[in-house]
Amino acid sequence: MGFARTRAVALAGVTGHLVTVEAHLADGLPAMTLSGLPDAACARAPDRVRAAAASTDVRLEQRRWTINLSPAALPKQGSGFDLAVAVAQLAAQGSLPPAVTANLVHVGELGLDGSVRHVPGVLPMVMAAVAAGATDVVVPRASAGEAALVPGARVRSVATLAELLELHRALQAGEAVPVAEVPPSGRSGGQREVPDLQDVVGQAEARRALEVAAAGRHHMLLVGPPGAGKTMLAERLPGLLPPLTAEQALEVTAVHSVLGATGSTTQLVTRAPFVAPHHTASPAAVVGGGSGRVAPGAISRAHRGVLFLDEAPEFRRDVLEGLRQPLESGQVVIARAHRQLRFPARFQLVAAANPCPCGQAVGKGRDCRCTPQARRTYLARLSGPLLDRVDLRVSVRAPGRAALAGPTGETSATVAARVEAARERQARRWAGHPWSVNAEVPGPVLRDGERRLPPAVTRDLARALDLGRLTLRGYDRCLRIGWTISDLAGADGPGREHLAEALGLRGAQEVAA
């Protein structure tokens, strides 16, 4: 009778859980049992291990095998357990040193020819292992650079099962085994270049709103006719945002890793991502989910970046309403019968819409043929509760000939410098709090206590609230916008002029005195 164990990692969403893989060899009729809630792909691991071992000239004992993935109540998905199952079995029959295998984490899929293949989610798996104190990890050769991105991880890589055997024997003998290092291309994200804000003609108000949105991480709605520049403006927002911190870069790259979208080169995503799903996308594609393997959606791919909904009223209503909870909490919860999966979704929403179905209702020379009822119902597809969560509502008009003849606007680099300075002011102000930008500050913090503004400053907001132009949530959002505008101006706090501009950007300027 033989017994051995090693470790693997199970993913639940983008959160990893350390799993102990146990193998027990006993006398009896040849059989192989795998327990621990494996899915269909994981349940076939023993068959792949047996074929891979035969291709490597390693003989598995023809006796009764019992393999357990502990904790047994945690669902296990995918083929990433193959390597750990093979190691546990080989150690149980004496082909590998059990004392070495018990302290290592193994991640990887086995091919029938004995090759060790990459699996999605290696980055969050290694992050979870290191967080649990298991810093020695063995991964496929193709995943070595990705795994090495995790600080504190000692990563060894193998390309075949035969190399794995040699690795364990070298570790048992106390020989020095090279540890994978982050390749030079993995130290900075090689995302596509963001277009420059200077390319936008005119649109002074919309450019100002974009700067405010970037500085305070505010959500924004752009309404205007086709060709006015709504998409151009949205695509340039990532170029105004500060680079991601090391921690944020790992979070974002982990989501891409789970989706298998890290690419052939190993790189951290260091710039805010830009995700623009098509308006025909399903709730599972945008919010996340799926009937089989639950996967993150577009809002999680836009984590720490920008989610752009072009033609927002054309999206399905259940898709739009599914954004309400993530906009508030910064995460999406996918509920299933026996478990809940959480995906990060702290994104910045930019929605664009035409003023009517034909888009010709605004501007000179426009010939709109939509009925008044069609115009009213078109933007009404964006529900009140959803719009109430959008800080900035900007009307974008088509630029005229004067804009073409006028001076070019500021470059993205110039605006980004002001945005970064404003972000630094916010970081200093909210140091010691669980938030770092104005858009995340709870309303009571701004309405009460030391951050409360004098009544003379908030007079316009109070009037808008009394007239029903603002909800209490809208009141709080105007306060947040006002603080962001004052940060861009380098002021110690908002004045009445800053809150008046906030009301204008909120779309309630007509109530200002």
Sign of CA dihedral 161, 166, 168, 171: negative
pLDDT tens, residue by residue, 57-83: 888 888 999 999 999 989 999 999 999
* Element spanning 377, H or E: helix 372-379
SS3 62: coil
> For 156-163, which contacts have Cβ atoms below 8 Å and span 24 or more sequence positions?
156/180, 158/108, 158/116, 159/115, 159/116, 160/56, 160/114, 160/115, 160/116, 161/52, 161/53, 161/55, 161/56, 161/58, 161/86, 161/110, 161/114, 161/115, 161/116, 162/56, 162/114, 163/116
- Report d(CA 443, CA 414) in Å as an integer: 31
pLDDT tens, residue by residue, 402-461: 666 667 788 999 999 999 999 999 999 999 899 999 999 999 999 988 899 999 999 999
23: left (phi over 0), alpha (psi -120 to 50) or beta: beta
Q: Mean pLDDT, the chain, as a whole number?
A: 89
The pLDDT confidence band at residue 294, using thresholds 50, 70 and 90, is confident
pLDDT tens, residue by residue, 160-196: 999 999 999 999 888 878 887 776 655 444 456 788 9
Burial (Cβ within 10 Å: 0-12, 13-18, ≥19) of residue 114: buried
How many residues are given for the chain?
513
Strands 2-12 and 220-223: unpaired
Task: Pick 203 or 428 by higher pLDDT.
Answer: 428
pLDDT tens, residue by residue, 190-201: 456 788 998 888
CATH number for 2-182: choose from 3.40.50.150, 3.30.230.10, 3.40.50.1820, 3.40.50.720. 3.30.230.10
SS3 290: coil
Extents of the domains making up the chain: 2-182, 197-410, 441-513
443 contacts 479 by C-beta, under 8 angstroms: yes
Per the structure block, which two tokens stand in for 500?
Answer: 């008046």
Of the chain, the end-to-end C-alpha distance in Å amounts to 86
Q: In 3D, which of 148, 34, 53 has the Cα closest to residue 110?
A: 53
The single-letter code of the amino acid at 207 is R
pLDDT score for 423: 96
CATH number for 197-410: choose from 3.40.1010.10, 3.40.50.300, 3.30.70.141, 3.90.1310.10. 3.40.50.300
Indicate if the pLDDT at residue 354 is higher than 60. yes
Average of per-residue pLDDT across 310-320? 94
Burial state string for 470-481 with b = 16 or more CB within 10 A and e = fewer than 16: beeebbbbbbbb
- Report d(CA 120, CA 25) in Å as an integer: 31
